[in-house]
Each structure stands twice: as C-alpha cells, then as structure tokens.
Chain A
Amino acid sequence: GAGVSQSPSNKVTEKGKDVELRCDPISGHTALYWYRQSLGQGLEFLIYFQGNSAPDKSGLPSDRFSAERTGGSVSTLTIQRTQQEDSAVYLCASSFGPGELFFGEGSRLTVL
C-alpha cells in the first residue's frame, strides 16, 4: 500500500489475555519501529528492526512484550497476559534506513 498499515485499529481485551498487533510497512522500507503512546506521556520507543540485523529491543517494558518481523516486511507486536497499564496507542513506523519515519495510524489497545 501507499502508507504504513496497522491492524486492528481498535482492540478491547480483558486483563490477562494475549493480544497481537500487526504492522505492514511501506514497501521497500528497511527499518521498522514500534512506539507506544500513552495519554500525556508522549511516544515511548519500544523496538527497532533494520534489515537482517539483530533488533534493538531495549525499549520493551517487560518480558510480556515481544515482536517479530517476518521476511523483512510485516511485523507483529505481541503482548502476553495484558495488564491495564498496557492500555495505549501502539504506533508503527517505517523508514528507508535512518531516514524520515512514516507512521501508521496506530492500534488503540484498551485492557479492561
């Protein structure tokens, strides 16, 4: 597609359930980022993928969070045993190398 595509756009889940959020980056972009946007907290870096290099996972807040990128394209962010503090908008972005980031519209996660 023309832009970064994220799904689902909205997800409501119960505490303790696992969720998967998907990101389809712009075709040809080698770098992919996940950020978390919480109310009044700005954007928090979660993870970075660049080509076949080992990802930078330094921003993942706990071991309940994991992400993978298959075939250098689509990425999935998985949150296990969700907690209420995980409620946020999860933004994906892609770029060609360390260039301008293009963001998707985000996946809004609500944990009840």
Chain B
Amino acid sequence: AQSVTQLDSQVPVFEEAPVELRCNYSSSVSVYLFWYVQYPNQGLQLLLKYLSGSTLVKGINGFEAEFNKSQTSFHLRKPSVHISDTAEYFCAVRPNSGGSNYKLTFGKGTLLTVNP
C-alpha cells in the first residue's frame, strides 16, 4: 500500500515570493509521482509528473518538482508566485507495476494562498 503526507495544510505567501510545497510518500514498491492543482470550484488538473529519468521535472505554470528517492520526497517549487497560483495542490503516487498500478493515492492537500 502507499501513503502520501503533505506536511503543510496551508501555505500563505506574498506575490513574487518563492514557494515550496512539501510531499513525502511511503510505498513498498516503486511508484510514479504526481502533483495536481485544484482551482476553486474546479476539478483537478495535472501540474507535473515523474515517471523515470531526470529527477527534476518541470510542469505547467512555471512549477517544478524534484524526486528524492532516498528521502522519499517529491517537493513542489516555484521561484516566483502569482495571485493566480492561489489554489489547492495535491501530491499523489501510483505503483509503476503490478495489479494495482491504476490506483492513485493522494495526500490531503496544501492550500496555497498568494497575497498581494
């Protein structure tokens, strides 16, 4: 089984400041890792994913994340945030093989609030 811990439930920042949203996971098998974003009253949208290869992955809207296998982490970063980045961010994992490789397990989410 897999589990995902998002260490901060809320992160307030000022516009143009850098931000890091933390994610740690636990799994007995190798996993793929994902970050999703949910804007108010909308569904989830894929921000970026790590499947293999370079541990630094870049996504939409200037976000990037780094996979650290030894620390079982997949933290999300952006060097300069905008008001429009205000949303809830979810980290998720999925086994990369085996019979349950379809099942995404999500963290509880981090609400990023960008203030002017």
Contacts and interface: CB of A to CB of B under 8 A. Distances in A.
Interface of A: 4, 31, 33, 35, 40-43, 45, 48, 50, 56, 91, 93, 95, 98, 100-101, 103-106
A103 B109 contact: no
A106 B41 CA distance: 8
B108 interface: yes
Contacts, number: 48
A31 B42 CA distance: 21
Interface residues of B, number: 22
Nearest to B42: A105
B46 interface: yes
Is chain A's interface secondary structure helix, strand, loop, or mixed overall?
Answer: strand
A103 B41 CA distance: 12
Given A40-B9, A42-B90, A43-B90, A48 B41 contact: no
Contacts of A95: 102
B26 interface: no
Nearest to A97: B102
